[in-house]
Each structure stands twice: as structure tokens, then as C-alpha cells.
Amino acid sequence: MRSLLSLLIMTLALAALCCCEKDPKEPSGSLSADSIKIKKEVANAFVKRKKRSSPYEWYLEYYKSPMEQMHERCENYPPCDYLSDQVGFALAYNRFFGRY
């Protein structure tokens, strides 16, 4: 039984060595770091940030509208947030903070 087991282990070890052996002539193995590099211009083509076309877009990027500020005020107050889920934002905001 032991001889059969040792023969099986030796066969598996040799099979593993044959399967895992790398052939330096064949590039189908693992990719090297040099093979996946791309030019800087190509890489920046999809990362480049869109430039603002007007001062209005620049302003909107940094400042929130009054309605958005009211929504955040209601969301930060748990009773208003809960009621806005039930009856809507306008009624909930009027109930807790007065008329907008």
C-alpha cells in the first residue's frame, strides 16, 4: 500500500512540475509590466477633467441652491426626514421650519 501511495505522490509531483514549467519563448504566460504600459497622452484622454465653460457652472459647482440647502436642513433633522418620507418634503419642511 505504501509503495502505491509513494508512486502516486511521485507521479503527481512530476505532473505538477511539467505543467508549471515556464517556456521563455512563449509569451502566452504571465504579462510583464512593460507589456501593459500605455502612453501618457492616451492614459490622460479619459481621465482629463472637463473644463468649465462658463462662470455660472463654476458658481454652481461651489455653492448650493436654496432648495438644496432646505432639503439638507430637513434631512439632518430626524423628525422632518421621517415625515418627509410619509407626506412629502414641502409639507414636512413647513411643519418643522415654517414656510419656505
**93 within a domain of the structure (yes/no):** yes
**pLDDT higher for 65 or 79?**
79
- In the numeric block, the cell 500605455 is attached to 38
Please count the CA atoms within 13 angstroms of the CA of 80 that sit on its side-chain side: 18
Question: Is residue 21 pLDDT above 80, yes or no?
Answer: no
**73 within a domain of the structure (yes/no):** yes
How far is the C-alpha of 81 from the C-alpha of 87, rounded, in Å?
Answer: 10
**6 within a domain of the structure (yes/no):** no
pTM here? 0.41
**81 within a domain of the structure (yes/no):** yes
Asked if residue 58 lies in contact with residue 52, where contact means CB atoms within 8 angstroms, the answer is yes
**74 within a domain of the structure (yes/no):** yes
Q: How many domains does the chain have?
A: 1
**59 within a domain of the structure (yes/no):** no
Residue-range definition of the domain harbouring residue 87? 64-99
